[in-house]
């Protein structure tokens, strides 16, 4: 029978047999698991917790900024809160979120493998992450840190008397979790693809994860080195960055951004990975220009290493290096633009579904476009001199990190929720929360572009009274955004028990993860799949599925 339709696939009765969730019970079956899917769940719980911790700080900052005077928090508390917001969100949420949760769960399944190449290292990376996170939580409980997440010297090494050591040590440790995950992914993608799954049949998710992993492997050690040097200077007084000890504070910024700019791509490439999958699934179409999208991920990963000093255009680099980094910054925008054009073109003559993940995708494209083009403003030297270290920058990177990465994470969580849990989320609540997130986000961050150009510096506890109206708008938006983020917490947990049971392929999508049961068995597939279709090739996939079911 070759007339398998998408409708048939969607309503196959969920597996009553064993799957990875009911394979074992008990706390140790989770804490000592080597199953990439269970480790993904552990990560999901941890990063969600950290997201709400970081979100709490953000909300307190917005409340403080309702009025020009510094009246709700003291200056020291405010400084600690924006530092902790940055540290928690970047090191403990954004960097691990998509790779360690969705990547961990999906990568082996998309490759038709039973697990990652090194399951024990995978579990180790979660424990390493947790040790780093515990350092972070210790800092929060014991009094905080006030250096900003960038730990600029000599403030961090000689002047701050907060918990700089514990924080940087936490970030240092967490870095190893990234390195281990990256290593695991690279080896798995090279060595564990199913028969027939050639490089150019790989889902674009895998291409992007591959680029992300390479960046993680090459960039994170530089962060580790930098933080070690910082800790040495702070504790032992060895002069590296402090000019009073013969060091150079600008050197610190070079080293820090040599990691932290590629880290931006560690955060956004996985988001692009999710968006490519969702666009293909919710347009039921092959991604337009597959190879261009795939290679643009590698180009971003490669060029991402060559633009770090655009964070330092007013910091004291020479006119000529500023010119070079400005030029390279313009080039790194090209592959991102290519992706947006290709996603758009994919929708032409497609079958566009308006389900929640697609709403997040549309939101992502809109917000990422704004984030991307405002990056061009910042890369243009004449403008950067004015808006550097202003709210314009704050708005820009939140459009990329929150409007991009968090939107994509939510798209991915909704898209793969039936696969991960075997249950559907409630569609209308999810659509409502997607709408709230989109509206709340824009109201929060768009006014900040204007604020920055008008002249409000970032990291200001108190500000000039003429900036108040835009700040009130921003805080109002943050309130809506908070509701938008809390809603999924409620209805996703609700759906674990009360959600409609999902079939193996509730969306009628193409991909190996939709060719197994929901939730998948512990070994992912009952028999090793053989891939006979190109990525997102609906007719070929349906034919292959039809044959499988007729066996």
CB 430 within 8 A of CB 414: yes
Taking CB under 8 A as the rule, does residue 353 contact another protein? yes
Which of these segments, 28-36, 89-97, 308-316, 436-444, binds another protein (CB under 8 A)?
308-316
Contact call for residue 327 and another protein (CB under 8 A): yes
Report the C-alpha gap between 282 and 130 in whole angstroms.
35
Q: Of 524, 153, 252, which Cα lies nearest the Cα of 515?
A: 524
Beta bridge partners of 390: 457
DSSP sequence for 173-226: HHHHHHHHHHHHHHHHHHH-PPTT--GGGS-HHHHHHHHHHHHHHHHHHHHHHH
Instruction: Verify binding: residue 322, another protein, rule CB under 8 A.
Output: yes
Nearer to another protein, 48 or 468 (CB): 468
Distance CA 257, CA 226 (A): 10
C-beta atoms surrounding 340 within 10 Å: 16
The single residue among 25, 141, 236, 382 that binds another protein, judged by CB under 8 A, is 382
Task: Report the site for another protein in 44-63 (rule: CB under 8 A).
Answer: none
Residues 71-100 that bind another protein (CB under 8 A): 75-76, 79
Minimum distance of another protein from residue 114's CB (angstroms): 31
Closest CA to 189 of 219, 211, 221: 211
Q: Which is nearer to another protein, 65 or 171 (CB)?
A: 65
Please, which contacts does 72-76 make with residues 24 or more away whose CB atoms are closer than 8 Å?
73/461, 75/461, 75/462, 76/146
Considering only residues 455 to 514 of the shown chain, the ones binding another protein according to CB under 8 A are 455, 457-464, 466-470, 508
For another protein, what does the binding mask look like between residues 101 and 140, x meaning CB under 8 A? ----------------------------------------
Task: Candidates 34, 248, 432, 523: give the one binding another protein (CB under 8 A).
Answer: 248
One residue of 49, 381, 435, 487 binding another protein per CB under 8 A: 381
Query: Toward another protein, which CB reaches closer, 109 or 229?
Result: 229
* Least distance to another protein, CB of residue 499, Å: 22
Distance CA 41, CA 105 (A): 8
- Cβ nearer to another protein, comparing 334 with 530: 334
CB closer to another protein, 127 vs 159: 159
442 lies in the site for another protein, by CB under 8 A: no
Say if residue 263 is preceded by a cis peptide, omega within 30 of 0: no
CB of 426 to another protein, least distance (A): 20
Say which residues have a Cβ less than 8 Å from residue 168's Cβ, sequence separation at least 6: 151, 156, 227, 230, 231
- When the beta carbons of 182 and 335 are compared against another protein, the nearer one is 335
């Amino acid at each position: 029978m070759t007339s398998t339709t998408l409708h048939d696939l969607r309503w196959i009765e969920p597996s009553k047999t064993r799957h990875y969730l009911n394979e074992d019970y008990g706390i140790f079956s989770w804490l000592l698991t080597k199953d990439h899917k269970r480790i993904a769940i552990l990560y999901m719980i941890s990063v969600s917790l950290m997201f709400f911790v970081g979100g709490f700080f953000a909300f307190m900052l917005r409340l403080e900024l309702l009025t020009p005077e510094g009246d709700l928090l003291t200056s020291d508390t405010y400084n600690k809160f924006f530092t902790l917001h940055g540290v928690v969100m970047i090191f403990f949420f954004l960097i691990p979120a998509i790779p360690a949760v969705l990547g961990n769960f999906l990568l082996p399944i998309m490759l038709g493998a039973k697990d990652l190449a090194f399951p024990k290292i995978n579990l180790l990376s979660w424990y390493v992450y947790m040790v780093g996170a515990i350092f972070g939580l210790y800092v929060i409980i014991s009094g905080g840190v006030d250096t900003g997440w960038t730990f600029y010297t000599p403030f961090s090494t000689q002047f701050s008397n907060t918990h700089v050591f514990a924080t940087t040590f936490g970030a240092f440790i967490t870095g190893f979790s990234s390195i281990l995950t990256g290593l695991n992914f690279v080896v798995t993608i090279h060595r564990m693809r199913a028969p027939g799954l050639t490089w150019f049949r790989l889902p674009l998710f895998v291409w992007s994860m591959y680029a992300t992993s390479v960046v993680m492997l090459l960039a994170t050690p530089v962060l580790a080195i930098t933080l070690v040097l910082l800790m040495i200077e702070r504790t032992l007084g060895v002069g590296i960055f402090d000019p009073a000890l013969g060091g150079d504070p600008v050197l610190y910024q070079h080293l820090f951004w040599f990691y932290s700019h590629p880290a931006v791509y560690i955060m956004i490439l996985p988001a692009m990975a999710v968006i490519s999958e969702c666009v293909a699934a919710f347009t039921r179409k092959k991604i337009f220009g597959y190879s261009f999208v795939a290679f643009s991920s590698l180009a971003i990963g490669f060029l991402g290493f060559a633009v770090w000093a655009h964070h330092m255009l007013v910091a004291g680099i020479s006119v000529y290096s500023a010119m070079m980094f400005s030029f390279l910054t313009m080039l790194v925008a090209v592959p991102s633009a290519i992706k947006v054009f290709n996603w758009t073109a994919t929708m032409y003559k497609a079958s566009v579904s308006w389900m929640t993940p697609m709403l997040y995708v549309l939101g992502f494209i809109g917000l990422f476009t704004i984030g991307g083009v405002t990056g061009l403003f910042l890369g243009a030297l004449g403008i950067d001199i004015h808006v550097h270290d202003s709210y314009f920058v704050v708005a820009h990177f939140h459009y990329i990190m929150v409007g991009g990465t968090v939107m994509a994470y939510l798209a991915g969580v909704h898209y793969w929720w039936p696969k991960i849990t075997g249950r559907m989320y409630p569609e209308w609540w999810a659509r409502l929360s997607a709408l709230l997130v989109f509206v709340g986000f824009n109201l929060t961050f768009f006014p900040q572009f204007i604020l920055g150009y008008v002249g409000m510096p970032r990291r200001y506890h108190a500000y000039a009274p003429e900036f108040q109206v835009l700040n009130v708008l921003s805080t109002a938006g943050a309130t809506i955004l908070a509701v938008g983020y809390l809603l999924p917490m409620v209805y996703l947990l609700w759906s674990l028990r009360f959600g409609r049971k999902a079939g193996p392929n509730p969306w009628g999508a193409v991909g190996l993860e939709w060719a197994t049961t929901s939730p998948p068995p512990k070994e992912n597939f009952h028999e090793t799949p053989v891939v006979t279709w190109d990525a997102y090739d609906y007719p070929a996939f349906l034919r292959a599925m039809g044959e499988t079911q007729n066996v």
